[in-house]
A and B are shown apart, each in its own frame.
Chain A
């Protein structure tokens, strides 16, 4: 064994300490497994902390008509029926228990007048469904999980980056990582690994994501032989900040629209009505007066027959709407749309959206209780990721599990706001349980190969050994420009082909980057490795986007603007082969009859942007 490297051994190694990773680690540990939890940042800083609006669960505290069936239907419709039905079902059924569990672990959600967990409206959700804490729900969730976890006796390896999954034959045997602080390598021997590494946003220039979001889990799993599906579906959140430049892309919570925020263009037109899909128009308020009645009832915590405002359409649709308004010359001075909540009482805004209030006041000199915000689409989330078994979160590699944003299937072609936080805890728990059971079931521990460890370490050292080469920052910036301009909200064949050519060139450039100096906390060196992951996921996104010749959910093709029923029956699946990345259509699992019966009629064809 590689005695020259620090080595730790666990039944279950969880990579990533956001909501999914923490929940998986807690569950595996509760099942008696010895658990290591590895994270790139300090504990409690993962991207979950940035989630604002809430966690979706059919608790039916505010709208008693709600139930798991409606949540399931909303999720499938929001995902343009490309979701794995079983994941959407498990999620809708289990989310309420997971929210109550968070409360039992100390989370303090906002309350209804009768003392129960309060729920707010969000895009694409039929009823008020998001349990929340003002606009800092993710922080509440990660603290509750973090405190539960540390008192349960997890071994946490903070500021530690996994660079390679190690296998014994077909199955998982461990991982190679380095300490960010010292740059020294560390070997984890593990019977099972849960990847909960989040998304890929850093491949794009304008993003709400932090430096950590470099597609690590997807790329590590791909290299280890796992399948990635639905990679073409990247969610552009409709409301990111657009000004000033330094905060461009920073998230503006959908909670603003949930609380009644109105979108207008530079001519003062409330444009969202124009963009509602015909098939779903009946679910939204017919005019300003009805939308206003809905908001007033919502503020007073009362039931109403008024339908929700058109701003609460799904994210894919609102993003396209804003993009189109700007492109057609009706944008704000900094190229966005106006989002206005200032017509509500200032105290209400500050109480329900405190971080938004401070964020705009301090970073953009805008008082949102008096002025509208300027917002525009920002790369936010990837629906695609590792293909998993719905019940166990198992990937196609024995011993490898995935949960949260890194996994695919739950959200189909577009995720509803609030369904991510619930996804994290529902499938984090299942992944932890299944990984612990698998680890226990193995007769003997898998063996880590010295040669594989050495190869991984050598690969990491190379950028220091080159005598010339460009900075990884330059290659990263070029990738971000490429993805933003060629694989963005609207896609077209020529652009996608060009993107693939550029990604090929960037791969060779990334293989030759040079870094200098010490390995101690060296961000340039860290980026040199993360860059490879970003290139892998970017290639998967572009390849899948090229193959999906239709517009569905978050994937909009200018050259194929309509839904194609045939392609509604397939996922595009990326896999590593001897000759590089192969992407091919695989059949979508079919919903059983009893679930189909929940939908009144077959899904009506939905014209994108119409």
Chain B
């Protein structure tokens, strides 16, 4: 265990303070304890320097996905970002997620995500399905259900971040959700058109940025997005499959 107590040192935190009208990074010197994470430093600042520093957090254990921010430019959960993983003599910058409109300081307006979620055709069990399945049948879908909705994948995705295509692209988080529904052993809903026309799965060009930032280690691109792209291609663009559906009447 690397748990030996270390001498008290300070870290310089550069925390973004501002709202929709603008803002700037403000410096705070924070005493460092062993094992301390960025969120601990933010809490110290709230308690000792700036009680009005706005931040979202809940579990502090990487289970709720509330404390998403950009730490030294990288989308990350503040509760999982260890200060001792950064260079000891360099400041640590903490900024709000860029893809979403700022409310105040580190808090952004993520309501768009909830609107997208509501439009996804919900879980629809097949009629007369037997509610029995093997663990191996659900391993894949369970991977997607690990998602804690931190929206870091949405934050980093260039379709949303650089091209601002929120109106036609659901983003990695919701491809993960849809994949979880599609791969549920007894779900029978048809999300093909939704994926193609509303969720815009075709717009993803598989740069895997989302996979890299996922704190849950979900293989978003390989296991969720690519299989969904294949489903759309098979469904809408494969002439043999189209003919087969015409003959059999199956989707």
Contacts and interface: CB of A to CB of B under 8 A. Distances in A.
A104 B36 contact: no
Interface in A258-301: none
Given A334-B3, A371-B1, A473-B51, A247 B60 contact: yes
Nearest to B217: A358
B103 A181 contact: yes
User: Which secondary structure characterizes the binding site on chain B?
Assistant: loop
Interface in A42-77: 42-47, 49-50
A134 B135 CA distance: 12
Interface in B93-136: 103-105, 107, 109-111, 114, 117-118, 122-123, 125, 131-135
B117 A250 contact: no
Contacts of B149: 44
Contacts of B123: 105-106, 147
Interface residues of B, number: 60
Contact of A43 (B56, B57, B114, B138): B114
B59 A515 contact: no
A115 B135 CA distance: 7
A245 B64 contact: no
Given A150-B118, A359-B61, A139 B148 contact: yes
Nearest to B36: A246
B103 A42 contact: no
Contacts of B12: none
Nearest to A524: B51
Interface in B174-229: 181, 184, 187
B154 interface: no
B161 interface: no
A545 to B, nearest CB: 28
Interface of B: 1-3, 19, 33-37, 40, 46-48, 51-66, 80, 82, 103-105, 107, 109-111, 114, 117-118, 122-123, 125, 131-135, 137-138, 141-142, 145-146, 148-149, 181, 184, 187
Please list the 7 inter-chain residue pairs (A to B) with the smallest Cβ-Cβ separation, ordered nearest first. Answer: A244-B35, A524-B51, A106-B123, A115-B132, A521-B54, A210-B58, A473-B47
Given A516-B52, A521-B105, 20 more contacts: A42-B66, A47-B59, A106-B122, A148-B122, A151-B118, A244-B35, A246-B36, A355-B62, A359-B62, A362-B62, A363-B35, A364-B3, A366-B1, A473-B48, A477-B47, A523-B52, A523-B54, A523-B55, A524-B51, A525-B51
29 contacts: A42-B110, A42-B114, A49-B59, A49-B63, A50-B64, A108-B184, A134-B142, A136-B146, A140-B145, A143-B145, A150-B117, A181-B103, A181-B104, A181-B107, A243-B3, A244-B35, A246-B33, A247-B61, A363-B61, A364-B3, A365-B1, A473-B48, A473-B51, A515-B51, A517-B52, A520-B103, A522-B51, A523-B46, A525-B52
Interface of A: 41-47, 49-50, 100, 103-106, 108, 110-111, 114-116, 118, 133-134, 136, 139-140, 143, 147-148, 150-151, 156, 158, 181, 210-212, 243-247, 250-251, 333-334, 355, 358-359, 362-366, 371, 471-473, 477, 515-518, 520-525, 527
